[in-house]
Each structure stands twice: as C-alpha cells, then as structure tokens.
C-alpha cells in the first residue's frame, strides 16, 4: 500500500481541563475531511505524543478512525519504553490504524545497527505497514540513506516521514527505493520542491490550520500547474512566518482557536495561551494577504 497525498499531522485535542477530548478530535477530523485531506498522522510530534499516555494515544486513534472514513490513518507509536512501543504497534490495527510509524528513540545515542534492530522490532509487533520517521531537529540524529534503503529493501519499512530541510537525502532515498515506498515530506515549507523530487505527499502540522491550501497545492503539482503550486507554497511560507513568534504548538493551537476550531491548550509545560496570545496570533494571520480563504473554519 503506497500512501500518497496530504495528511495532517493531527493536533491532539484536549478539553478545558486538559484531558484528551474525543469530541473535539472528531470535530477536527470532520472539518479536515471536508477540506479534502487524504489521511491522518496520529500522535506524532504535532500530536504531542511524548506528553501522552499509551491509553490516551489509543483513545485518540479510535476517535480518529470513527470519523476518518476510508482515509489513511498512520499511527505513530514511538515511546520511551520499547515495551510500550510494541504494545501500541500491536493494538494499532484493532483501534483503526491502516499503517504505523515510529520515530527513533531519543536521549541516548544509537548506532545504525541498533536503530535497524529497533525498526525491525516495531515491524514484528504489527501486521500493518511501518513508516519510518526521521526528524533530526528533534531527535538530534540524521538517518542516512544506506540505513533507510536497507530497511526498505528487506521489507521492514514501507515508507518514511521525512522531516528535514536536507532535500539531497530525500532525492537519494527516492532513487534508492522502489516506487511503492511511500516518501512523505514533513517540512511544510518545502513541499513543492520535495514533490518535484519524487515525494508522494506530505504530513504537516499546519495542514490542520490551512488544509485547503495544501490540498490545492498538491493538486496543482499533480496537474503540472507549477506556477499555482509555487504561489500556494509561498502563501504557506508566509503563514509559517506569521506563526513563528512563540512556541510552535501553543501558537498553532491559538490559531485554531481564533478560527473557531478549539482543540484546547498544548499540554504543560508548553506555554498556556490566553486571550491576549490568541489576539496576537489572529492579527499575525490577518496580515498574510490571500490566506483567509484557505484557513479552517
């Protein structure tokens, strides 16, 4: 199964008491469905997975599956305890996932051999296809082409979420893997370039806020309308700039709130935004000419 298209890296929705809200989750998924997204990446970095319990993550997955229809649902299963990783992978299918993904372990340094063993262990825990996930800005570790291509060749990895500005590695991976290997970019500001290099789509946090922008960018690229694709990419870059003042996910959640899609605060110790923060974010978004029609809400 090749996963293609635009998949929001779904924000985790909390209620006003800071507990996971299945009601807000399904409302968000329904709105994103209407915008034409192709699937969901659940409990990833944008989903604050590191601040969630395993039980919470499975509740979120089940809520997404109840509202997503026949779209791709990629469940990110990384955790600090490998026993928890395996258990999340094992339960993914029964809770509605169509694929799983795993970022690498963090804090300690690991050799390529250890990381290969890690991915194989995750793969063995589930019958679902496994997408690797490289995000060196958070993990501090670049996964090289040789490691990833070898894991694709032996059937461990069915694809990869690639979150990096180093598109040379992405191009090398495309050349070193079969067309069936799902290569999905996680850097919202580089989609046009990545798609031109053979990426199959994108997974992004700001897809929650401006889903139509990214859906239309992908469609324009597929249709060969590069001028329109580049215009939309420029609009995305401007939006990202408007959101750059402050912590990433609290700011993005403020933006969702001012658009009428309240998904709660980010989980402490991330910043807790009040009305003044929301007003600041609203003003920043209003300053991006031409963005309004693409925003959720």
Q: Which tokens hold the place of 276?
A: 């003044």
Q: Is 162 a catalytic residue?
A: no
> Given this model, what pLDDT does residue 36 score?
99
pLDDT at 150: 98
* Whole-number Å distance between alpha carbons of 4 and 6: 7
**Pairwise CA distance, residues 126 & 99, whole Å:** 9
What does the pLDDT look like over 224-253, one tens digit per residue?
A: 999 999 999 999 999 999 999 999 999 999
User: Strands across the sheet with 201-204, in order?
Assistant: 5-8, 201-204, 182-185, 159-162, 130-134, 99-103, 72-76, 39-42
pLDDT at position 88 is 99
Strand bridging mode 159-162 / 182-185: parallel
Q: Can you tell me the distance from the alpha carbon of 91 to that of 128, in angstroms, rounded to the nearest whole number?
A: 10
The per-residue pLDDT for range 61-90, each reduced to its tens digit, is 999 999 999 999 999 999 999 999 999 999
Q: Is 133 considered catalytic here?
A: yes
Q: What is the pLDDT of residue 140?
A: 86
156-179 burial, b at 16+ Cβ within 10 Å, e below that, comes to bbbbbbbbbeebebbbbbbeebee
CA–CA separation, 262 and 28 (whole Å): 9
pLDDT of residue 139: 87
Quick one: pLDDT at residue 143? 94
Domain ranges across the chain: 5-209
Amino acid 89: pLDDT:
99
Question: CA angle, 124 as apex, 58 and 67 as ends, to 5°?
Answer: 30
Give the number of other Cβ atoms within 10 Å of residue 127's Cβ.
Answer: 11
Q: Which two tokens stand for residue 147?
A: 């490691």
What pLDDT, on the 0 to 100 scale, is given for residue 73?
Answer: 99
Q: Are 11 and 205 in contact (CB under 8 A)?
A: yes
Determine whether the annotation assigns residue 203 to a binding site.
yes
What pLDDT score does 181 carry? 98
**What is the structure's pLDDT at 138?**
87
Which one of 40, 118, 133, 249 is the catalytic residue? 133
Tell me which of 49, 161, 214, 294 is the catalytic residue. Answer: 161
Q: Supply the CATH classification number for the domain 5-209.
A: 3.20.20.70
State both tokens at 113.
């051999």
Helix (H), strand (E), coil (C) string for the chain = CCCCEEEEECCCCECCCCCECHHHHHHHHHHHHHHCCCEEEECCCCCCHHHCCHHHHHHHHHHHHHHCCCCEEEEECCCCCHHHHHHHHHHHHHHCCCEEEEECCCCCCCCHHHHHHHHHHHHHCCCCCEEEEECHHHHCCCCCHHHHHHHHHCCCCCEEEECCCCHHHHHHHHHHCCCCCEEEECCHHHHHHHHHCCCCEEEEHHHCCCHHHHHHHHHHHHCCCHHHHHHHHHHHHHHHHHCCCCCHHHHHHHHHHHCCCCCCCCCCCCCCCCHHHHHHHHHHHHCCCCCHHHCCC
pLDDT of residue 53: 98
* Residues of the chain falling short of pLDDT 50: none
pLDDT of residue 1: 75
Q: Is residue 225 within 8 Å of 241, Cβ to Cβ? A: no
Q: Which residues pair with 233 in a beta bridge?
A: none
């Amino acid at each position: 199964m090749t996963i293609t298209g635009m998949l929001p890296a779904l924000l985790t929705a909390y209620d006003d008491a800071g507990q996971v809200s299945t009601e807000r989750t399904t409302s968000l998924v329904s709105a994103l469905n209407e915008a034409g997204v192709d699937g969901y990446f659940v409990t990833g970095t944008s989903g604050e997975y590191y601040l969630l319990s395993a039980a919470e993550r499975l509740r979120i997955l089940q809520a997404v599956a109840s509202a997503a229809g026949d779209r791709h649902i990629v469940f990110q299963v990384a955790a600090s305890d490998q026993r928890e990783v395996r258990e999340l992978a094992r339960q993914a299918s029964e809770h509605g996932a169509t694929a799983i993904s795993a970022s690498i372990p963090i804090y300690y340094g690991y050799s390529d051999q250890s990381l290969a063993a890690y991915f194989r262990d995750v793969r063995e825990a589930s019958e679902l296809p496994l997408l690797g996930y490289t995000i060196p800005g958070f993990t501090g570790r670049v996964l090289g082409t040789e490691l990833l291509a070898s894991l694709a060749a032996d059937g461990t990895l069915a694809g990869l979420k690639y979150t990096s500005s180093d598109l040379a590695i992405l191009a090398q991976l495309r050349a070193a893997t079969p067309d069936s290997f799902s290569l999905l970019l996680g850097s919202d500001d580089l989609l046009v370039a990545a798609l031109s290099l053979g990426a199959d789509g994108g997974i992004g946090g700001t897809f929650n806020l401006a889903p139509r922008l990214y859906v239309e960018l992908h469609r324009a690229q597929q249709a060969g309308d590069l001028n329109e694709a580049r215009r939309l990419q420029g609009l995305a870059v401007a939006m990202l700039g408007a959101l750059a003042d402050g912590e990433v996910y609290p700011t993005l959640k403020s933006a969702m709130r001012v658009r009428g899609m309240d998904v709660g605060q980010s989980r402490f110790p991330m910043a807790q935004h009040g009305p003044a923060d929301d007003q600041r974010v609203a003003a920043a978004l209003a300053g991006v000419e031409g963005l309004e029609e693409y925003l959720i809400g």
